[in-house]
Structure 1
Amino acid sequence: MAMRDLDAVVDELLVLPFPRQETRDGERSSGPGYHVQALKASRDFWDGRDEETFQAAEDEIDTALQEVRAALTERWDAPEAVDLEPYLRPDGPVPEPINQLCMLTTKTLLWRGRP
């Protein structure tokens, strides 16, 4: 994703109102107090996982992640690493958007913005 496109997506999310109920609109899901936007996704590899194809997809996603990280760090300073592993074995329901993030990864980055 180009920096210009990322800036447009971020700017749109910053002014987008939060719905009262959870909603899904294409690659974005929203709910009270959150928006989750997929910026890039690879295809699923459940069947016939060819190692070369898988590695190429993983490299492409990693490159995109580094670009997003650099752009958001320039905009809001360094991120904070967040470990989602404690949410993988909850005693009760996991709130959104943490539940969605746990389905994708065990670690994420959090930008709080400049004061």
Structure 2
Amino acid sequence: MSTAEHLAAIDLLRAREFPVVHGRSERGSQGPGYHIAELLTSDPFWDDDGTRWEATEDQYEAERDGLAVLLADRWGPPQTFSLQSLFERVVDTDFGDLADGGADEEIPEPWAQLSASVPDLHLWRVEGRWIALGVSQWDKEQPFQLLAVVTETDPP
């Protein structure tokens, strides 16, 4: 996809109603209050010595940053929002903290899903919705993805 296609996908997600149930869409995943579009997906890294992985990580971060510059022209500079502590809270919730008998915090979507694979997001608040860009990777062998997110759910 080209940059123009990325911008068109974000505009489409911003205009689209949110579904009532979680599921897949033609571009990614969606659910009540959110859309996640997979704008770019790399090849996996099963037989990589790390060289291709590092180059791809740099490429995807540059794609995110370039798209963020264009969106900043529309909406101003983004906030940078780290998901690291949120990921730790999700893990504590899923597996429980042995010291306190388990956590009872529920992390709303799409934030729980994003925190599992996206370290940080570029984030804007526009017309009552959050728009975010991030680079996802589930594991060293898995592909990178450039994600665009539109949600009405505030970050936790």
Q: TM-score range by the shorter chain?
A: 0.7 to 0.9
Identical amino acids, percent of aligned pairs: 29
Q: List, as ranges, runs of 4+ consecutive aligned residues in structure 1 with deviation greater than 6 Å.
A: none
Structure 2, unmatched stretches of 5+, are 90-102, 129-156
Per-residue CA shift, 1:14-71, capped at 9, x if unaligned? 11110111111243211111111111222333x3332222122122212211221111
Tell me which amino acid in the other structure corresponds to 2:50.
E
| Rounded Cα–Cα distance in structure 2 between residues aligned with 1:5 and 1:26 | 14
Cross-structure match for 2:146: none
TM-score (norm 2): 0.64
Cross-structure match for 1:76: 75
TM-score (norm 1): 0.83
Q: Secondary structure at the match of 2:56?
A: helix
Cross-structure match for 1:60: 59
| Larger RCO, structures 1/2 (Cα 8 Å, 6+ apart) | 2
Cross-structure match for 2:138: none
Cross-structure match for 1:111: 124
Cross-structure match for 2:39: 39
Per-residue CA shift, 1:73-94, capped at 9, x if unaligned? 1121111111212222223342
Higher helix share: 1
Per-residue CA shift, 1:82-114, capped at 9, x if unaligned? 121222222334221012211222221211137
Cross-structure match for 1:28: 28
CA contact 1:76–1:114 (8 Å) conserved in 2: no
| Rounded Cα–Cα distance in structure 1 between residues aligned with 2:54 and 2:120 | 20
Structure 1, unmatched stretches of 5+, are none
Note the aligned Cα RMSD (angstroms): 2.1
- Pair 1:96 & 2:109 matched: yes
Higher strand share: 2
Tell me which amino acid in the other structure corresponds to 2:31.
G
Tell me which amino acid in the other structure corresponds to 1:19.
P
| Rounded Cα–Cα distance in structure 2 between residues aligned with 1:111 and 1:11 | 13
| Rounded Cα–Cα distance in structure 1 between residues aligned with 2:5 and 2:24 | 21
| Rounded Cα–Cα distance in structure 2 between residues aligned with 1:95 and 1:44 | 29
